[in-house]
């Protein structure tokens, strides 16, 4: 099992080509205008050189102790993901054959670029950030092969700045027409692939959490006069935002359930997100079944391109194993890799490991 590109099964063959294309586009961009443009502006004619992480000489190196601490934590998280995933996929179920991948997003908010680089050098490619400016600044000085995930609350006036990051891979927290439209319009025309979006669902119903209400089987009643908010947003993205790809659903979930996670017990947030996916997929299959191409696979305008399903992003440091067992495709782990975060607000929410 390899961890290249931070997925857990072999990536699709055209992935390398796509990454190379993205890289070429990235390197042909004009230098950014801010003060923070060291890597791009100094290496635009030396694209080969910027491909190796060791050329990022402007980023201070992590101390040897810090580097080995991060490497150990990352290795441990990967081993636990592999174990939880293998336990789920019983031989013969076919799951490991249809390209199902589990993605680890390393949540690096408040952590320095030098920490990220340590993970990058271990093959980690997906990183998650909660603040637009922080993501933008880090993306400028770190390798362009990184796939950035935005996982914070997004204000529409920051969409343009966020969308300007060429290797922004996914925005996991879309929950309004306004944000979807703002992102769609802000994406530069030289992007080589659509921006993946996950719709955030407020599975715990807490006022403090953003996201759309979950769906239940009753919400699929054909006699219901109106579409739910989630259906409306999904339909809008598919029909009116061709720069976006509706790839799946995301939840944060109640902290309480997360902290007392027990792999043997069902977590209500995970179950609600699964039911919501089930409902939305059934409805989308009818509304937007996709073109019947020459190939056997229908080309759908939504979902993961290799499996045709909506991906689930659920599970953090305290409950990612339970989430994987419940069927999560994407886990977002911060503390478990980088240790506790310093700010008051965050240490309150995420006790250090």
Q: Which stretch binds ligand PLP (CB under 6 A): 28-36, 161-169, 233-241, 311-319?
A: 311-319
Interface pick for ligand PLP out of 70, 151, 174, 246 (rule CB under 6 A): 151
Binding-residue pattern over the window 104 to 133 for ligand PLP, x denoting contact by CB under 6 A: ---x-x--------------------x---
The burial of 3, by beta-carbon neighbours within 10 Å (0-12 exposed, 13-18 middle, 19 or more buried), is given as middle
Candidate list 126, 317, 322, 328; residue touching ligand PLP; CB under 6 A: 317
Q: Would you count residue 336 as binding ligand PLP (CB under 6 A)?
A: yes
Residue 335 touches ligand PLP, criterion: CB under 6 A: yes
Measured distance CA(173)–CA(210) in Å, rounded: 9
| Nearer of residues 130 and 204 to ligand PLP, judged by Cβ | 130
Q: Which is nearer to ligand PLP, 317 or 328 (CB)?
A: 317
Q: How far is the CB of 8 from ligand PLP (least distance, A)?
A: 18
User: Does residue 252 touch ligand PLP according to CB under 6 A?
Assistant: yes
CB of 84 to ligand PLP, least distance (A): 15
- Which residues 6+ apart lie within 8 Å of 3 measured at CB? 78, 122, 123, 124
What is the distance between the alpha carbons of residues 147 and 167, in angstroms, rounded to a whole number? 6
Question: Could you tell me which stretch among 86-94, 140-148, 154-162, 314-322 binds ligand PLP (CB under 6 A)?
Answer: 314-322
Judged by CB under 6 A, the residue of 40, 146, 179, 350 near ligand PLP is 350
88 near ligand PLP (CB under 6 A): no
How many Cα atoms within 13 Å fall on the side-chain side of residue 83?
Answer: 10
Tell me which residues touch ligand PLP (CB under 6 A): 107, 109, 130, 151, 252, 316-318, 332-336, 350
């Amino acid at each position: 099992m390899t961890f290249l590109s931070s997925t857990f099964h072999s990536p699709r063959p055209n992935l390398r080509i796509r990454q190379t294309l993205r890289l070429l586009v990235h390197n042909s961009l004009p230098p950014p205008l801010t003060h923070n443009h060291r890597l791009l502006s100094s290496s635009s004619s030396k694209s080969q050189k910027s491909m190796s992480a060791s050329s990022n000489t402007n980023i201070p190196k992590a101390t040897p102790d810090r580097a080995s601490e991060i490497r150990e934590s990352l290795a441990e998280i990967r081993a636990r993901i592999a174990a939880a995933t293998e336990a789920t996929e019983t031989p013969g179920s076919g799951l490991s054959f249809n390209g199902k991948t589990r993605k680890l997003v390393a949540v690096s908010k408040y952590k320095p670029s030098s920490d990220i680089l340590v993970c990058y050098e271990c093959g980690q490619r997906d990183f998650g950030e909660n603040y637009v400016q922080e993501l933008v600044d880090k993306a400028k000085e770190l390798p362009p092969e990184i796939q950035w995930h935005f996982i914070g609350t997004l204000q529409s006036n920051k969409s343009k700045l966020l969308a300007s990051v060429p290797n922004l891979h996914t925005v996991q927290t879309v929950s309004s027409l306004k944000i979807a439209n703002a992102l769609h319009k802000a994406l530069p025309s030289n992007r080589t692939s659509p921006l993946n979006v996950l719709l955030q669902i407020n599975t715990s119903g807490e006022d403090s959490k953003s996201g759309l209400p979950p769906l239940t089987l009753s919400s699929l009643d054909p006699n219901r006069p109106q579409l739910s908010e989630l259906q409306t947003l999904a339909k809008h993205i598919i029909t009116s935002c061709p720069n976006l790809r509706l790839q799946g659903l995301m939840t944060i979930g109640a902290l309480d359930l997360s902290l007392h996670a027990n792999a043997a017990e069902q977590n209500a947030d995970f179950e609600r997100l699964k039911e919501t996916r089930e409902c939305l997929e059934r409805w989308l299959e009818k509304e937007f079944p996709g073109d019947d191409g020459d190939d056997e696979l229908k080309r759908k305008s939504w979902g993961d391109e290799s499996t045709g399903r909506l991906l689930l992003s659920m599970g953090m440091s305290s409950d990612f194993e339970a989430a994987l067992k419940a069927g999560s495709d994407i886990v977002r782990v911060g503390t478990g890799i980088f240790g506790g975060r310093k700010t008051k607000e965050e240490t309150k929410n995420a006790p250090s490991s």
